[in-house]
């Protein structure tokens, strides 16, 4: 504790002299070298080819490969439980997941006249959406344009983004904002109160971020949930999907849910299904801490995959550069990129700056990892390592009171542990933040499996190999809306089709052929942090 206070003096002493100096951007070749040498996406031993399914032969991290090669909890051959496929619910559209994308899709599907059921693992609103601090991108300023938004995002995604998906995202951005405004979302306004205020974000060529201070996701989620409840959309909370259902042609026809309260199965017959279960930070890929919600266990990946849906970019994850490494109870929690946009600087043990703070997230993360690996990091009392993020620079650059006004959430979080970010730097290290890839979708959110739609972080392609700040809040609204509309419209012309688990037999044969005797089961649903050994002795005698 005292040690850190002494170490941070080097940062405090040089603060005044660093004011106004921008660390130069790296030339393209150097960025590439830095990424290859230090970014976790390039660590060969963290990866292996997945051995079954539509992406067989393609590499992904062990943690995801394990999910994809695991058994269904309903596969009887390996002791899975038998379920009778008589529907408990029969609906047009089943939405699985109650975060931003799921709620949006449900609202739109209902508006389209479909009968809708939303099932979610925890409560409605429990999601990564609620935690999004930085903001939401949309090209609304006169000097901005969808084209500029497109190019910025392409550059951020290393030019691998799906062009059609991305075009839809940027073109429908303003409409998505209008929809949220009409629901009553209160974005920050300019001085006149007539227009929305825009702010700069990492790797964008012009200010494009709409914010609700640093509670943007919370504000959006509160409103979406309230709208959902008031639209009286049927909701099943604490009822995660554990398997999808298919007909003989392999089309998706519903899902089996598990009620956490009574451990009973719930069978849902649906003409179309939308998977919106979010990301996978709680898999702790490569041992990283995560900024993600407790429920982010990548459930959509095995569910869609066993049914034959193709995945995209499952070899790339976003490690947000600035996850907290001290104080310990905050480990992994995010310090919003907005703080760097507002002027906070990164420094190593020696008090030297080492990267342009506003470069893309992957580049900044790689640079921090480099500093730590090469002995220029700072070790915390609990053995984590990090570099300094000099937050007081924000007030120094923009005037006293800026932090208090724009980042009340961040101030409050650190103040609980006696750290005043207006005066002191904090220690940060990259944290697992976002699943760049996911289930492949078309512009209507449909996967390669007929009648199975996917929206939000669970989907892949839009963000290429690196998502830009503010594009995921836009993603969930734009593609949540599209999936909701398309799934409802499709359902109009469909009859309910047979419910079966025949895809599990096909999957089982594949596992057998690949010589995989999978014992583990996916989706895992709840991350396991229980200390079983200590628990046995922790009760006071």
Partner 1 sequence: MSSTTATVSDRVTVEIMGKKYQVPQGITVIQAMWYTGHELVRGIGCLGGVCGACGIVYRTRDSYELKNGMGCTTLVEDGMSFAMIPHYPASRAHYKMSEIQNAKEDLVTYYPEAARCVNCNACNRVCPQGIDVRTSVWCAVFGDFQEVADLTINCNMCGLCVSRCVADMAPNLIALYARRSLGVFYQPKPEAVLNRIQEIKEGKYNKEWDKILTADEKKLKELCTTNK
Residue 245 binding partner 1, by CB under 8 A: no
**How far is 258 from 281, CA to CA, in rounded Å?**
22
Instruction: Tell me how far, at minimum, the Cβ of 418 lies from partner 1, in Å.
Output: 11
Instruction: Tell me how far, at minimum, the Cβ of 478 lies from partner 1, in Å.
Output: 13
Of positions 66, 92, 126, 371, contacts partner 1 by CB under 8 A: 126
Residue 19 binding partner 1, by CB under 8 A: no
Cis amide linkage into residue 496, ω under 30° from 0? no
Give the helix ranges, DSSP H, for 19-126. 28-38, 62-68, 100-111
Structure tokens at 391: 């937050």
Residue 397 binding partner 1, by CB under 8 A: no
Q: Which stretch binds partner 1 (CB under 8 A): 122-130, 341-349, 474-482, 511-519?
A: 122-130
**How far is 426 from 392, CA to CA, in rounded Å?**
10
Instruction: Tell me how far, at minimum, the Cβ of 516 lies from partner 1, in Å.
Output: 28
**How far is 227 from 475, CA to CA, in rounded Å?**
19
User: What are the phi and psi torsion angles at 312 (to 5°)?
Assistant: -135, 145
Q: Which stretch binds partner 1 (CB under 8 A): 166-174, 345-353, 460-468, 473-481?
A: 166-174
Cis amide linkage into residue 209, ω under 30° from 0? no
Of positions 32, 81, 147, 513, contacts partner 1 by CB under 8 A: 147
CB 499 within 8 A of CB 253: yes
Q: Which stretch binds partner 1 (CB under 8 A): 387-395, 438-446, 515-523, 529-537?
A: 529-537
Nearer to partner 1, 116 or 501 (CB): 116
Instruction: Tell me how far, at minimum, the Cβ of 68 lies from partner 1, in Å.
Output: 25
Instruction: Tell me how far, at minimum, the Cβ of 154 lies from partner 1, in Å.
Output: 6
Nearer to partner 1, 254 or 338 (CB): 338
Strand partners, 136: 210
Catalytic position from the list 340, 370, 465, 485: 340
Residue 151 binding partner 1, by CB under 8 A: yes
Strand partners, 311: 439
Residue 512 binding partner 1, by CB under 8 A: no
Task: Specify the residue for token string 């951005």.
Answer: 173
Residue 185 binding partner 1, by CB under 8 A: yes
Instruction: Tell me how far, at minimum, the Cβ of 264 lies from partner 1, in Å.
Output: 15
Q: Coil, strand or helix: which one is 541?
A: coil
- Tell me which residues in 208-227 interact with partner 1 (CB under 8 A): 212-213, 215, 218-219, 222-223, 226-227
**How far is 368 from 362, CA to CA, in rounded Å?**
10
Residue 263 binding partner 1, by CB under 8 A: no
519 is known as an active-site residue = no
Residue 26 binding partner 1, by CB under 8 A: no
482 is known as an active-site residue = no
Instruction: Tell me how far, at minimum, the Cβ of 457 lies from partner 1, in Å.
Output: 15
Q: ∠ at Cα 466 (462, 469), nearest 5°?
A: 85
Residue 328 binding partner 1, by CB under 8 A: yes
Residue 531 binding partner 1, by CB under 8 A: yes
Give the single-character DSSP code of 72: P
Task: Specify the residue for token string 């002493």.
Answer: 13
In angstroms, what CA-CA distances link 369 with 24, 264, 287, 334, 363? 19, 46, 14, 16, 10
**How far is 429 from 334, CA to CA, in rounded Å?**
10
Residue 32 binding partner 1, by CB under 8 A: no
Q: Coil, strand or helix: which one is 184?
A: coil
Residue 274 binding partner 1, by CB under 8 A: no
Catalytic residue positions?
320, 340
């Amino acid at each position: 504790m005292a040690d850190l206070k002494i170490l941070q003096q080097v940062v405090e002493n040089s603060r005044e002299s660093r004011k106004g100096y921008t660390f130069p951007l790296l030339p393209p070749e150097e960025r590439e070298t830095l990424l290859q040498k230090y970014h976790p996406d390039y660590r060969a031993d963290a990866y292996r080819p997945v051995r079954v399914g539509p992406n067989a032969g393609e590499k992904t991290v062990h943690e995801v490969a394990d999910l994809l090669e695991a058994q269904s909890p309903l596969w009887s051959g390996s002791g899975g439980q038998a379920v009778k496929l008589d529907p408990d619910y029969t609906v047009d559209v089943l939405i699985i997941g109650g975060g931003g994308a799921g709620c949006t899709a449900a609202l739109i599907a209902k508006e389209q006249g479909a009968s809708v059921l939303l099932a979610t693992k925890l409560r409605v609103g429990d999601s990564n959406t609620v935690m999004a601090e930085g903001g939401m991108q949309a090209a609304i300023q006169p000097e901005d344009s969808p084209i500029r938004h497109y190019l910025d995002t392409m550059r951020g995604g290393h030019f691998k983004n799906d062009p059609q998906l991305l075009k839809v995202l940027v073109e429908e951005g303003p409409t998505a904002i209008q929809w949220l405004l009409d629901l009553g979302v209160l974005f920050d306004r300019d001085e006149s109160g007539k227009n929305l205020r825009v702010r700069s974000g990492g790797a964008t060529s012009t200010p494009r971020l709409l914010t609700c201070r640093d509670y943007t996701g919370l504000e959006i989620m509160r409103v979406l949930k309230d709208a959902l409840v008031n639209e009286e959309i049927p909701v099943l909370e604490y009822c995660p999907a554990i398997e999808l259902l298919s007909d003989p042609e392999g089309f998706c026809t519903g899902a089996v849910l598990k009620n956490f309260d009574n451990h009973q199965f719930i069978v849902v017959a649906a003409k179309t299904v939308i998977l919106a279960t979010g990301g996978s930070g709680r898999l702790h890929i490569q041992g990283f801490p995560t900024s993600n919600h407790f429920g982010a266990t990548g459930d959509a990946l095995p569910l869609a995959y066993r049914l034959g849906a193709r995945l995209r970019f499952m070899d790339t994850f976003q490690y947000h550069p600035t996850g907290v490494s001290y104080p310990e109870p905050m480990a992994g929690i995010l310090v919003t990129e907005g703080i760097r946009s507002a002027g906070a600087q990164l420094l190593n043990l020696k008090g030297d700056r080492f990267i342009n703070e506003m470069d893309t997230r992957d580049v900044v993360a790689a640079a921090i990892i480099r500093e730590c690996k090469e002995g220029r990091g700072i070790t915390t009392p609990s053995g984590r390592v990090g570099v300094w993020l000099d937050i007081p620079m924000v007030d120094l650059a923009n005037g006293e009171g800026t932090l208090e006004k724009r980042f009340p959430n961040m101030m409050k979080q650190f103040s609980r542990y006696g750290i005043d970010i207006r005066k002191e730097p904090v220690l940060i290290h990259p944290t697992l933040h976002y699943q760049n890839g996911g289930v492949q979708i078309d512009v209507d959110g449909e996967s390669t499996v007929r009648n199975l739609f996917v929206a939000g972080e669970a989907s892949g392609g839009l963000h290429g190999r690196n998502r830009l700040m503010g594009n995921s809040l836009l993603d969930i609204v734009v593609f949540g809306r599209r999936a909701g509309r398309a799934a409802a419209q499709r359902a109009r012309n469909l009859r309910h089709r047979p419910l079966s688990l025949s895809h599990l037999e096909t999957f089982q044969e594949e596992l057998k052929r690949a010589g995989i005797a999978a014992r583990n089961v996916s989706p895992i649903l709840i991350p396991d942090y229980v200390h079983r050994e200590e628990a046995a002795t922790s009760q006071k005698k």
